[in-house]
Structure 1
Amino acid sequence: MRECSHAGRFGGLRAVNAGAIGATYRKPMTRIRFHGELNDLVPRRARNRPCEFRSAENATLKHAIEAFGVPHTEVGTVLVHGAPAPLDRRVEPGDTIDVHPAPAVEPADGPPESAEAPLEPAGARAQPAERPAFLADAHLGGLARRLRLLGFDTLLADDAPDEMLAERVDGDGRVLLSRDRELLKHRKVLRGRYVRAQRTDEQAKEVIRHFGLAPLARPFSRCLECNAPLRSATRQEVLERLPPDVAATHDAFTFCTGCGRVYWPGSHWRRLQAVVRALISEAPR
């Protein structure tokens, strides 16, 4: 079995200095191993193998794990000498630590709502007991639109400082989606996901699988632009907002309660139906 010895000093970790003298450096090394998809986030030398290090005084498991590049939002069970331990536990010399990834959420019972009937008003639908709401960072605008397309309350963050974004998700109880690990490490971020995929649809599929979203989808119930709920509207209500050819050939519309946009089942809607089918088909079988 290959092992690594973590060199250098960063975060809460301190490597052995061969020239140092004193009791501190005679203490046993701490050993850590990351499991599953967490190996995508740690330095290459620490992947799929135990890694030895010395931690700074009073460092917690959270500090040690995040010093290897893994935000606490990605962590599930942590074992110390084989027993579960909280992230605020202090790291002790000689500890053997196993870090497992946060498990994917089991999908709720029942099939996802069909993409074939998108114009039913959202208020007429039975809502599950808990449907997650999200905050996507400023670089995940495409992902935010895909989640809105599926009916999930998804805000898109601006370029505010990390502290402000962390306070926002803490106050709103939202799940933070980001490709910024330092943001996800913030102590006020309780739930989040470091999005691995690069392409928009792959990002959406990753989030759907991880949070078990497919059965909770309510396609075409939120505005793609502003995230506000949509409601059904008559032709007369929205007539002044319609192109003449649309007004003459359509009689089913939805109206954004936030920005006032009007949607109808045209060719763009049919393309979005195909996107919805592709995304929710990623539900675990």
Structure 2
Amino acid sequence: MNAGVITVEFAPELRVFVGQRDGTPVRVDGASTLGHVVESLGVPLTEVGGLSVNGESVAAGHIPSDGERIAVAAVARPQPSAEPLRFLLDIHLGTLTRRLRLLGIDAAYENPDIGDAALAARSAAERRILLSRDRGLLRRREIYSGAYVYSHQPAEQLDDILSRFAPRLAPWTRCTACNGVLRAAEREAVRAQLPHNTGHSYDSFAQCVDCGQAYWKGAHHARLDAIVAAALAKFA
């Protein structure tokens, strides 16, 4: 069914999804919603900050008709979000997960892959913002909330999420292995996990209250501290 032609223009931030289709005529059927049309052009609604028709704001449920000129805005940064901020990351974002946890951000992660349906269900059940580079996953209606991760590079991914959601940063308070909360620990409590002589080289230890993983300022601390310092400088 052909109900006419509309023109859809996307904000510059969204053109990564649509390429040369930005501003081109789009046929509509008189039944599909504007949200469906936008997603059919490749843009998840999680990335849309607003829709307007001929300059007037409309909801995603608007049914477009012949001759309408549609403008699609990107989400604002920082994006207003309910507190507390809780995230869920898909199987492909393991490094980003660990960096978020390093900064004290509640970041759940499923490994091995549990499938799109289970991820969406967990997002809804635990009210977690689903982070993914899979546009199909982000189009699932049952998710609580979601966000597309724009870069392949972990450092850029971290900046992307921190600038978008502006979460409260509390470095060194979460277990990077399981997302549990860290508590100060005595040397004797974690001695069994320490490499030979480490117990004599360091005097500050922490332990995860969930999985029992021990932490201390070992050989990799300088690299991790640099990640923390950069995030604090930009987003604290």
Q: Counterparts of 1:143-182 in structure 2 under 5 Å?
A: 143-157=96-110, 158-182=112-136
Residue 59 of structure 2 is aligned to residue 86 of structure 1: yes
- The one-letter amino acid paired with 1:153 is D
- Secondary structure of 2:108's aligned partner: strand
Corresponding residue number in structure 1 for 2:206: 254
Q: Which residue of 2 aligns with 1:29?
A: 5
CA distance, structure 2, for counterparts of residue 28 and residue 58 of structure 1: 11
How far apart are residue 183 of structure 1 and its match? 0.5
SS of residue paired to 2:197 = helix
- One-letter identity of the residue aligned with 1:268: H
Percent identity reads: 37
- In 1, Cα distance between equivalents of 2:124 and 2:24: 33
RMSD: 2.1
Long gaps (5+) in structure 1: 1-23, 108-128
C-alpha displacement of 1:163: 1.9
Query: The residue matched to 2:180 in structure 1 has which SS?
Result: coil
Correspondent of 1:233 among 153, 173, 185: 185
**Contact 1:253/1:263 (8 A) holds in 2:** yes
Q: Is the 8 A contact 1:179 1:195 kept in 2?
A: yes
Paired AA for residue 76 in structure 1: G
Q: Indicate the SS of the match to 1:282.
A: helix
Letter in 2 for 1:271: R
Matched, 1:66 2:39: yes
C-alpha displacement of 1:139: 0.6
Encode CA deviations 1:80-101: one digit per residue, 9 max, x unaligned. Answer: 1211111122222332211000
Note if contact 2:4-2:29 (Cα within 8 Å) is conserved in structure 1. Answer: no
Aligned partners of 2:88 and 2:108 also within 8 Å: yes
Task: Name the count of aligned residue pairs.
Answer: 235
Within 5 Å, give how 1:1-285 maps onto structure 2: 25=2, 27-42=3-18, 44-47=19-22, 50-105=23-78, 130-157=83-110, 158-213=112-167, 216-283=168-235
**Do the aligned partners of residues 45 and 250 (structure 1) sit closer, same or farther apart at CA in structure 2, a change above 3 Å counting?**
closer
Q: TM-score, normalised by structure 1?
A: 0.76
Q: Secondary structure at the match of 1:73?
A: helix
8 A Cα contact 2:4 2:28, kept in partner: no
After TM superposition, the runs of 4+ consecutive aligned structure 1 residues lying more than 3 A away are none
- Code of the residue aligned with 2:36 in structure 1: it is H
Shift of 1:143: 0.6
**Rounded Cα–Cα distance in structure 1 between residues aligned with 2:126 and 2:84:** 13
Structure 1 residues 83 and 190 mapped into 2: Cα distance closer, same or farther (>3 Å)? farther
How much has 1:244 moved relative to structure 2?
Answer: 4.3
Rounded to whole Å, the distance in 2 between the matches of 1:106 and 1:34 is: 18
Question: TM-score scaled to structure 2, two decimals?
Answer: 0.91
